Amino acid sequence: MSYLLETKDLTIRFGGLVAIKELNTHIRPGEILGLIGPNGSGKTTFLNLITGIYKPTSGDIFFQGKSVVGAPPYDMLRKGVARTFQNNRLFSNLSVLDNVIIGMHHKQRSQWYHAVFRSSFAKRELREAARKATELLEFFSRELVEDRYRKAIELPQAHRRKLEICRALASEPLLLLLDEPAAGMDPEETQHLMEDIRKIRKRMPDIAIILIEHDMNVIRNIAGRVIVINYGQKIAEGAFSEICQESCVLEAYLGEAAC
Ligand SMILES: Nc1ncnc2c1ncn2[C@@H]1O[C@H](COP(=O)(O)OP(=O)(O)OP(=O)(O)O)[C@@H](O)[C@H]1O
Ligand SMILES: [Mg+2]
């Protein structure tokens, strides 16, 4: 099966710091790839490269077989790449429902002037978006449906993280990038998050997911394959049970003394 995403010798420098160095990896449709590494190892930078926030210093990124280097973030979203952020980036003062509807924005056809003149076309499109957004919330979380008219800022942290995933899913992505979705969650909330990710797979079996997590329980239970990076370089790759055995992984996390 061909790759949905492939990187070849992907590199980015910030001055003297090489944040990602000659990284070669890939993901297939339907796969969940875990991306782990110590703090500052380049995980978020990798997502920023894939989503077009950063442009690589060298190397290439292929999405559905075509190079996407230089494509801006809105274009990557249109192509089918959606993400959540390490620190929630919701529209805090908008309602839960509006946050999900915004995730569909790039698929809507009405223009700003349709909205200004409250055309029936714009109203119809908005009604349909609200229906779809509610349906997505219903599938994903009962609590979020109940809270759909509340401001995002009023939600507990775990629900805000769920809402961010919902907003990303509203764009109907082919590739979903989750940057530490379990951060700040207690064990019960983390358990629910894992069930949510399984639900996504059931509803969208072809969606590919790159999951960054420090909680190894989540990675062990959810990721089919894991890559480990340290100082921007891939140091190990394989099933979770395999990479755990690698001394370079233990060394990266625990220091030389541990090995
Ligand atoms: N825009 C930037 N300018 C300069 N340095 C940057 C920039 N973005 C990232 N870096 C540096 O690149 C390195 C990798 O950062 P990154 O945020 O990708 O790490 P991370 O693996 O996501 O860490 P964490 O687990 O703490 O989230 C760090 O040294 C960081 O300071
Ligand atoms: Mg990060």
Q: Which range is least confidently modeled, 2-11, 111-120, 177-186, 191-200?
A: 111-120
Domains assigned to the chain: 27-90+155-258 (3.40.50.300)
Q: By alpha-carbon position, which residue is closest to atom 16 of ligand 1?
A: 42
Which pLDDT score is estimated for 177?
A: 98
- β 5-14/58-63 pair status: antiparallel
Going from the Cα of 180 to the center of ligand 2, the distance in angstroms, rounded, reads 7
Please name which ligand lies nearest the alpha carbon of 16. Answer: 1
pLDDT at 25 over 70: yes
Section 99-111 average pLDDT:
80
> Position 41: which residue type?
S
Which pLDDT score is estimated for 259?
A: 42
- The H-assigned helical ranges of 107-246 are 112-116, 120-140, 142-146, 157-170, 187-203, 216-222, 240-243
pLDDT level of residue 139 (50, 70, 90 thresholds)? confident
Going from the Cα of 85 to the center of ligand 2, the distance in angstroms, rounded, reads 9
Spell out where the chain has E strands: 5-14, 17-27, 32-36, 58-63, 66-67, 81-83, 175-179, 208-212, 225-230, 233-238
Any idea which residue has 């809402």 for tokens? 163
pTM listed for this prediction: 0.91
